[in-house]
């Protein structure tokens, strides 16, 4: 794995002014290697989603920087940021945010359209077990199936980094494990660097790299030499 694919340097972010001011990130430093499965772990309010949004180029820090492959996001203008997201990132959210009047295949094509070298949509559908549902509309699918589609939409771009914000937060245990398995497969099969935000401690066991956050700072930054498959996770 390449050193320092993603670098977070002294990242600070606060919201509000005066007495209402709240420091969400209070100087955060870490690096992530290319192809790593990295989990950002922490309770509510620890700043993990804010951190993910800054890495994703949809939020900006007050100070510090994020660099990816030596490119510093803070130096980019809005257009460049859009291009950065378009070419390098895949996003999976807790809510699936699918387009209601496009079917499963078309929702995945929405991601493929953005990429210069997308994966084969049919192959992604097969990998995600969605072949039988590809002509269904989102409202005809279960929550787990909808999340598979949203993963498909993100991975079909063949992104350098897959950002997942609590992807199992709205799912039951069994489905959550299936979804984690799929993200794991994508990480292995397509070599995308995965950064996953979660508050579920159990998920750290499937990660290469675990960063624990609390009150806007990194409390632990560990590499996991004994990671297990998603299917073996218990909580």
Partner 1 sequence: MKNPLIKRVPRELKSDWHKYIVIIFFMILMIGVISGMYVGHDSMLSAIYSGQKDLNLEDGNFELTSKATADLLDDLSDQSTKVDIYEHFYRNESEDVDFDGEEDATIRIYQSDSTIDQASFLEGRAPEKDTEIAIDRMHANNQKINIGDTIKVGDTEFEVVGLLSYVNYLTLHESNTDLMFDSFGFDVAMVTPSAFDDLTSRIHYNYAFTYDKTPEDEIEEADFSDIFREDLIELSYANGNPLQNYVPEYLNQASNFAPSDIDGDTTSSSILCYILIGVIAFIFAITISNTIEKESTVIGTLRASGYSKRELIVHYMSMPIIVTIIGAILGNILGYTAFRRIALNLYYNSYSLPSCDLVWSNTALIKTTIIPLFLMFFINLFIIIKRLQLSPLRFLRNDLTKVRREKARRLPKWSFLARFRLRILFQNLPNYLVLIFGVVFIELMLCFAFGLPDSLNYYSKTASSMMFADYQYVLMNPKDAMGNEITTSEDTAEKFSSKKLMYPKDLNATFEGYGSGEDEEVTVYGIEENSDYIALPETLDADEVYISSAFSNKFDLEEGDTIKLHEEYEDQEYKFTVAGIIEYDGGIAVFLGNDNFNDIFDRDADSFNGYFSQHEITDIDEQNIATTITAEDITKVTTQLQHSMGDMFVVFKFVLIALSAALIYLLAKIIIERNEKSISMVKILGFKNREIASLYILSTAIVIILFTVIGFLIGYQLMTWIFKMFILQMDGYFAYYMSFQSMLLSMLYLLIGYVFVSIIDFIRIKRIPMDVALKNID
Return the H-helix or E-strand segment holding 198.
Answer: strand 193-198
CB closer to partner 1, 28 vs 89:
89
- Distance (Å) of CA 157 to CA 20, 82, 201: 40, 14, 29
Q: How far is the CB of 60 from partner 1 (least distance, A)?
A: 9
Binding stretches for partner 1 (CB under 8 A): 53, 56, 58-59, 79, 82-87, 89-91, 93-95, 97-99, 101-102, 106, 109-114, 118, 150, 153-154, 157
Nearest to 213 by CA among 75, 60, 38, 7: 38
Nearest to 208 by CA among 35, 16, 79: 35
Query: What are 206's two structure tokens?
Result: 């499937």
Q: Which residues contact 51 (CB under 8 A, 6 or more apart)?
A: 8, 11, 25, 28, 40, 197, 213
Q: How far is the CB of 88 from partner 1 (least distance, A)?
A: 9
Nearest to 227 by CA among 198, 197, 188: 188
Q: How far is the CB of 205 from partner 1 (least distance, A)?
A: 28
Q: How far is the CB of 216 from partner 1 (least distance, A)?
A: 18
């Amino acid at each position: 794995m390449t050193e320092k694919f993603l670098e977070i340097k002294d990242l600070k972010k606060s919201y509000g002014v005066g007495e209402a001011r709240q420091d969400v990130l209070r100087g955060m430093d870490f690096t992530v290697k290319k192809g790593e499965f990295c989990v950002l772990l922490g309770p509510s309010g620890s700043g993990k989603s804010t951190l993910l949004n800054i890495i994703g180029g949809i939020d900006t820090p007050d100070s510090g920087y994020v660099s990816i492959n030596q490119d510093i996001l803070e130096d980019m203008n809005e257009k460049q940021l859009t291009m950065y997201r378009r070419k390098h990132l895949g996003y999976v959210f807790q809510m699936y945010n699918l387009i209601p009047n496009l079917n499963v295949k078309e929702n995945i094509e929405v991601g493929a359209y953005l990429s210069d070298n997308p994966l084969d949509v049919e192959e992604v559908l097969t990998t995600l077990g969605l072949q039988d549902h590809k002509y269904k509309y989102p409202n005809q699918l279960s929550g787990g199936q909808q999340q598979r589609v949203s993963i498909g939409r993100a991975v079909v771009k063949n992104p350098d980094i897959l950002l997942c914000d609590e992807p199992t937060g709205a799912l039951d245990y069994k489905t959550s494990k299936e979804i984690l398995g799929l993200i794991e497969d994508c990480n292995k099969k397509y070599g995308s660097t995965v950064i996953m935000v979660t508050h579920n401690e159990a998920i750290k066991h499937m990660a290469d790299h675990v960063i624990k956050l609390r009150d806007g700072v990194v409390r632990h930054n560990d590499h996991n030499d004994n990671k297990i498959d998603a299917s073996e996770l218990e909580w």
